[in-house]
Amino acid sequence: MSYTFDKSDISRNACMLKGKLQKQGYDWWWHSFTAINRKTLEEKPFFIEFFVCNPALGEDEPVLGQLPENKANNKKPSYLMVKAGCWGENPRQLHRFFGWSRVKLQGEAPYSVGAADCFASETELRGRISISDSDAEQHPEWMCDSGSMMWRIKVNKQIPFNVGYGAGNFCRKIGAFEMYWHAEGMKTLYDGEIVLDGEIYDVIPEKSFGYADKNWGKDFTSPWIWLSSCSMTSNITGKRLENSVFDIGGGRPKVFFIPLNRILLGAFYYEGRLFEYNFSKLGTGARTKFNCSETDDEIVWHIEQQNRKSLMITDIRCRKKDMLLVNYEAPNGKKEHNRLWNGGNGTGRIQLYEKARGGNKLIDDISVDHIGCEYGLMDWDK
């Protein structure tokens, strides 16, 4: 039976922390999009994430792995962390933690997770975080900045990137990988309102350039790479590509603790045509070469992905001043990703080719913006 990556599967958006992952596992639901300042009409990219960790170790209060006493006693973290923030001018990340006694989790599909006035589901996001300057300074274990953000947003997922068919689905069932990925909404329409430090931002569906995915597992990958956008213009025709989105992610996956060669998963939904580069789909000839680098001012990605029928060359860059160093601690309590660059203002170019006798045939040459992007190495991998 033949499957394609654009098949929706909200069962993969369910909470995956079962079995051993209940005591050493994380699962998160990520959302990113662009909003417009109601006064100035300037665009600003935002993100909202609900991150759950080690539920079977939960206590009434959140257990924070970076507290010195918890590190000294090898006490693993356990909590719901609501992460929210923005990129661009004055980027920041805000964290709010809840102990498991306060968390309401609908783990089966369709999922929902929340605590107090924070809530996430397949169709809705709402919440608030407020961190004072003094609290951010006095609580480094919170791993966040100061500021305030409130949001109420509707979510409409349009196009998925389902990487789980074929060998990937089998590996998930037997727990082979340390980190898994599913993008139920690599193109998502968001609609609502954000208040950031008192400034109101409108989230307009056709201008939100939205994305939604999830990751889960027992540890993170290194290198850690992610690129995605649905904001594209053909350099050949000059027309906006209103029915297109690309998504690339991965790094060096581990199978039963054994690291594979540097591998990325990729998909391009190009005006209804599907181009996928997925190493777990055996027989497609998918392979990848990539180089990511850090200059004084930018993070730069160069990625070449191909299969038996097509070739996709992706060149992206993002200014460091528009990015932040995003913070996570692993379920074992270690924090080894300390320079994980994360942004929402990436720009670049995609060249898409069809393989043919006599050479590759250019399908389109595309300018891309509003790109969500990440790159980082764990401390031991630098």
For 335, left (φ over 0), alpha (ψ -120 to 50), or beta?
beta
3-class DSSP state of 8 = coil
Instruction: Tell whether pTM > 0.85.
Output: yes
Give the separation between CA 165 and CA 163, rounded to whole angstroms.
6
- Report yes or no: 112 and 93 within 8 Å, Cβ to Cβ: no
Percentage of the chain beyond pLDDT 70 is 92
**What is the reported pLDDT for 260?**
57
Q: Looking at the predicted structure, is the pLDDT value of residue 166 above 50?
A: no
Burial of 160 (0-12, 13-18, 19+ CB in 10 A): buried
- CA 240 to CA 34: how far, in whole Å? 17
pLDDT exceeds cutoff 50 at 170: no
CA nearest to 290, candidates 304, 309, 274, 275: 304
Whether the per-residue pLDDT at 180 is higher than 50: the answer is yes
Q: What's the rounded Cα separation, in Å, for the pair 147 and 133?
A: 8
Please tell me the predicted confidence (pLDDT) of residue 262: 66
Question: How many other β-carbons are positioned within 10 Å of the β-carbon of residue 174?
Answer: 8
pLDDT of residue 257: 54
Check residue 254 and give its pLDDT.
Answer: 54
Cα separation of 213 and 369, whole Å? Answer: 19
**What residue ranges define each of the domains in the chain, with the CATH number in brackets?**
10-381 (2.40.370.10)
Residue 314 pLDDT greater than 70, yes or no? yes
Q: Across all residues in the chain, what is the average pLDDT?
A: 93
Sign of CA dihedral 9, 10, 11, 12: positive
Say how many C-beta atoms besides its own lie within 10 A of residue 197's C-beta.
12
Of all residues in the chain, the percent with pLDDT exceeding 90 is: 86
Is 143:95 a contact under the CB 8 Å cutoff?
yes
For residue 163, is pLDDT > 80? yes
Q: Give me the pLDDT at residue 263, please.
A: 82
Per-residue pLDDT reduced to its tens digit, 260-280: 566 899 999 999 999 999 987
Nearest C-alpha neighbor of 155 from the set 118, 206, 210, 117: 210
Q: What is the pLDDT of residue 105?
A: 98
